[in-house]
Amino acid sequence: MIRVLGSPKRLCDGLTRRDLLHVGSLGLLGLGLTNPLALRSAPAASPPSRGGGFGQAKSCIFLFLYGSPSQLETFDPKPEAPEQIRGELKSISSRVPGLDVCELLPKLSQVMDKVTVIRSVSHPYPIHGVAYATTGIPRIDVALELNPRDPGQYPFIGSAVDYIDGMRGGVDRPEIPRNLVLPWAFSSQRVGEVARAGPYGGFLGQAYDPICTEFVGDATKKATKTLADKKWEDLEPYRGVTPNSRFQLGSVSSLGPNLTFDRLDRRRNLLEQFESARREMDSGAERSGIDRHRAMAYSLLGSEKLRRAFDLEAETPQTRELYGMTLFGQAALTARRLVEAGGRFVTAFWDEYGLAGTGWDTHWDHFPRMKDELLPGLDQTLSGLLLDLDARGLLDETLVVCLSEHGRTPQLSLGQGGGRDHWSRCYSVLMAGGGVARGRVVGRSDKIASDPVERRVSPKDILATIYHLLGIDINTMLTDRQGRPLALIPDAEVITEVIA
């Protein structure tokens, strides 16, 4: 059985003008504001930059394929390229003329008329820079990649959405948290190295880390993975899970490292012993990290809506099979249930498992893993999610984004089982729903998917477009721990061609 504890969570309240958001110094308990009353109204900013599609998405399902899929084996195949470029997989046509996809994506080929594919995403950092792909951080390097709590880290996009919604007068403790991560705390289920940066509160503080679920269930299929001279062989949940597998909320670490939401309910009396001590503290401490964590925990314990959203047994077997009985498939299904219940930003990671350098990081065994696990799993889950959302009338108001941190080398390597290495100069991102055009291709790569030749797009532009569709002005300003104003998403623009 797999059981993973999640991240702490606190929501911060206070009011500002909508266009300029301020955060004070983040120090109290390492979680929140040194002076929790330091939030203050700011001078009016320039008029918001809006335009077409602004605010059309009520929520976002953010699918992140850690390790980076090859653009050539997904949404930008090059059948006319030399064999050492195109590889051994062929391409097939889709419902959109000129939008061919890999032959191992037959289900997705039938729903490409519901999506926009961007084939010209490019940046200069061919490392696993999840933080670069998912935050506004201006640059990334290996040291930052492996240091989630570096003071220079920017907030994860879900964390920024959570914060800004709260500042704009949203409910302080909604029944469905505004920023959830599935299936577990990112990068927590691998052996080797330290935690990777990415889905954290950044300079907003640990208070704005996503709430992470834990997966409770059993894997059904074995996998063998290679990392240089290391071998890993065990049951792999991304290949298959049992029908009774499920997700639940993880830990509230500010209340103790092993205290889960399940156990919290049995320990209310213990926690209530803090009441008398709290009353003796300064009145501002009611907004301190531990108080907010506890309040959030109590409110979630009482949320029948949240409990129902996690109840996968309420779905028919046919719907569960539509998404695939895999960890990623059931996480995506749970994400749909969460946004249907009122969730704002839900992330599902296809993460490393068991061995560092896995997920979609196919330096080794590239084609065997593409055939046996990765492409069939993605094909089933992503097509199932799009079909299900559309059938329920939810796709037009739910933004779906499928992305990664970079692409992979056009030139095949000679590694065991074949391999493609890191390549950030050109790769593909898929967007759908929530104001996104249907059946559209943005950008074009060269003959070997090496570099964009038309409409180069930055990962920052992807994030800016997500913010825009969620109704958040990309000119919004935040303040870091030193009180310096920082742009929410610097050096970025909305990709207008993506918008319907």
228: left (phi over 0), alpha (psi -120 to 50) or beta: left
- Tracing tokens 């059309």 back to the chain, one arrives at 56
pLDDT score of 190: 82
CA geometry: angle at 345 spanning 198 and 349, to 5°?
A: 45
pLDDT score of 297: 63
Q: Is the four-CA dihedral 106, 339, 404, 490 of positive or negative sign?
A: positive
pLDDT tens series, the chain, 500 aa: 444 333 333 332 232 333 323 332 222 223 333 323 223 323 333 344 567 899 999 999 999 999 999 999 999 999 999 999 999 999 999 999 999 999 999 999 999 999 999 999 999 999 999 999 999 999 999 999 999 999 999 999 999 999 999 988 766 678 899 999 999 999 998 876 678 999 999 999 888 999 999 999 999 998 887 776 778 888 999 999 999 999 998 754 434 444 455 555 554 444 444 444 344 443 443 344 445 455 666 677 667 889 999 999 999 999 999 999 999 999 999 999 999 999 999 999 999 998 777 899 999 889 999 999 999 999 999 999 999 999 999 999 999 999 999 999 999 997 677 799 999 999 999 999 999 999 999 999 999 999 999 999 999 999 999 999 999 999 999 988 888 899 999 999 999 999 99
Distant-in-sequence, close-in-space partners of 283: CB < 8 Å, separation ≥ 6: none
494: its two tokens: 């909305």
Write the single-letter amino acid at 29.
L
> Is residue 167 assigned to a domain?
yes
Instruction: Give the H or E element holding residue 159.
Output: helix 157-167
Distance set, CA 389 to CA 293, 319, 378 (Å): 32, 11, 16
Dihedral Cα 212, 217, 219, 224, nearest 10 deg: 40
Q: Of 130, 64, 58, 57, give the one whose Cα is nearest residue 402.
A: 64
> Is residue 20 assigned to a domain?
no
pLDDT score of 346: 98
Q: Is residue 101 classed as helix, strand or coil in its secondary structure?
A: strand
Q: Is the four-CA dihedral 303, 386, 431, 448 of positive or negative sign?
A: positive
The Cβ of residue 458 has, within 10 Å, a number of other Cβ atoms equal to: 17
Distant-in-sequence, close-in-space partners of 96: CB < 8 Å, separation ≥ 6: 112, 113, 439, 440, 441
**pTM for this predicted structure:** 0.85
Distance set, CA 177 to CA 73, 109, 399 (Å): 35, 34, 17
d(CA 166, CA 172): 6
pLDDT score of 107: 98
182: its two tokens: 């599935």
pLDDT score of 175: 85
23: its two tokens: 């955060």
pLDDT score of 390: 98
Task: Output phi, psi for 317, to 5 deg.
Answer: -55, -35
Domain count for the chain? 1
Q: Is residue 387 classed as helix, strand or coil in its secondary structure?
A: helix
Residues 194, 150 contacting (CB under 8 angstroms): no
DSSP state of 202: G
> Is residue 249 assigned to a domain?
yes
What distance lies between CA 398 and its chain's CA centroid?
15
Residues 68, 406 contacting (CB under 8 angstroms): yes
What length does the chain have?
A: 500
> Is residue 4 assigned to a domain?
no
Which CATH number fits the domain that encloses residue 463? 3.40.720.10
Dihedral Cα 429, 360, 327, 205, nearest 10 deg: -70
> Is residue 12 assigned to a domain?
no
CA atoms within 13 A on the CB side of 31: 20
pLDDT score of 443: 98
First-last CA distance in the chain: 44
Helices 157-167, 459-469: axis angle to 10 degrees equals 30
Nearest-Å Rg of the Cα atoms of the chain is 22
Domain coverage including residue 115 = 28-498
CA geometry: angle at 103 spanning 98 and 107, to 5°?
A: 85
Task: Output phi, psi for 225, to 5 deg.
Answer: -125, 150
